[in-house]
Amino acid sequence: MGTAAYLAIAIFIISYGAIISEKISRTISAMIGGSLMIFSGVISQHTALEHIDFNVIGLLIGMMIIVSVTEETGLFRYVAIGLGKRVKGRPLPLLIIFAAMTAVGSAFLDNVTTVMLMVPVTFSMSRQLKIDPMPFLITEILMANIGGTATMIGDPPNIMIGSAAGSIDFIDFIVHLAPISLLVGTAVMLFILILYRKKLHTSDQARDHLMAMDEKNEITDKITMIKAVSILALTIFGFFIHPLIHAESATVALAGAFLLLVLTGEKTLEHTLSSVEWPTIFFFLGLFVLVGGLIETGIMNHLAQSAIDLTAGNLTAASFLVLWLSAMASAFMDNIPFVATMIPLIEDMGRMGIGSLDPLWWSLALGACLGGNGSLIGASANLIVAGLAAKEGRLISFTRYLLVGFPVMLVSVTMAMGYIYVRYLM
């Protein structure tokens, strides 16, 4: 490795240290780190822009606009009160319902869209019952990544793997990954219920107050709500068919967002744009450039190639190495560039004589998706929840999340390792 590579590693480590310490805003840390990558000559500005995933950025902005307009109508408060009344205001059943909704939504939409819809409902519900929303928020992060593992469209790495491995289609992802996702999700929920059992309580007074409420009164603008829900449904439908219409999810989300702004009038434009979580957007920009510096200097490829060389063509060893390497890498950096690095290496292993690559593809998918639970910066959904929580005055610190997310990630990947061995390697 040359000087540029060592410089990239130094900038990356210092920037991540600043992000983890939270002495200054993680957005500022990421943007300064990304800027240093450019100013130091590790990566050019033009190349840095190429490493920014504008599909992720566009999807976030589009969905933030749609969610902001929808939230103003009172729909999320309506849903929160309705769900709360259905379980008689008991936090434990509510947590299970919210977890299931997040997992299923993340499997068939994507985890970013799902958490952006769930978090406003969560805060509305917690305010009504006067309970701490943190157990719900952390559970939603975990279940979003687990649910997104189950299908080809749930998490971007799965889409990339499905495109690269021509023999694997949408149904194959469900058949091979949904069972282990369900097992992991069940185990994680048991852990969460044990961990937060003492916090999942509310007063009888709060429950009585909730039961006496009429959720219909929460709708403040019925006409706008109908427009927002219609556009939201149309956008979600667009996510399902976007491969058929040859439009990326960002295009679908932004088209839905600005169509909604047209329908609701220009007077909502300035207010709606101000509600976009710009600190989260800029954090992603800085993070993409930081990881781009590692890719351009060959560090990512060197790491992956060295790891693959260690297996010497042994399928079991290669599968487990791909699983754990992708999980650990995805816990602390964006999994999209890592998966992009690993795909050609796995294809090379097939050309070098490994007969069936399926265990390697499933190992990569499970490691990249489940690994996202390892830290607060491990997946887009994690950062979105943290950003929306900060907007409500609730800080999800890096350390606080790590104490829950990293053990969950270790257990999840261990379960996945057993699943891969029993189903594909025995």
The answer to whether the CB of 292 falls within 8 A of the CB of 47 is yes
Residue 253 lies in a domain: yes
pLDDT tens digits in sequence order for the chain, 426 residues long: 678 889 998 998 898 888 888 788 888 998 999 999 999 999 999 999 988 878 778 878 888 888 888 888 888 888 888 888 888 888 999 999 999 989 988 887 778 878 888 898 899 888 888 899 999 999 999 999 999 999 887 787 887 787 677 677 778 888 999 999 999 999 999 999 999 988 888 888 888 888 888 888 888 889 989 998 899 889 888 877 777 788 877 888 899 999 999 988 766 777 788 878 888 889 888 888 988 888 888 887 777 677 667 776 688 888 999 899 899 988 987 777 778 777 777 777 766 656 677 888 999 999 999 999 999 988 888 988 998 898 888 989 888 899 999 999 999 999 999 999 999 988
What is the model's pLDDT at position 179? 95
**For residue 318, what are the CA distances in angstroms to 8, 147, 167, 350, 410?**
28, 25, 20, 12, 19
Q: How many domains does the chain have?
A: 1
Q: How much is the pTM?
A: 0.80
Residue 389 lies in a domain: no
Residue 35 lies in a domain: no
Residue 112 lies in a domain: yes
Task: Give the count of beta carbons closer than 10 Å to the beta carbon of residue 172.
Answer: 16
Residue 96 lies in a domain: yes
Residue 202 lies in a domain: yes
Residue 393 lies in a domain: no
What is the model's pLDDT at position 350? 67
Residue numbers of the domain that contains 207: 54-276
Rounded (10°) CA dihedral 128, 134, 136, 142: 160
**For residue 200, what are the CA distances in angstroms to 90, 95, 195?**
8, 8, 10
Residue 122 lies in a domain: yes
What is the model's pLDDT at position 267? 65
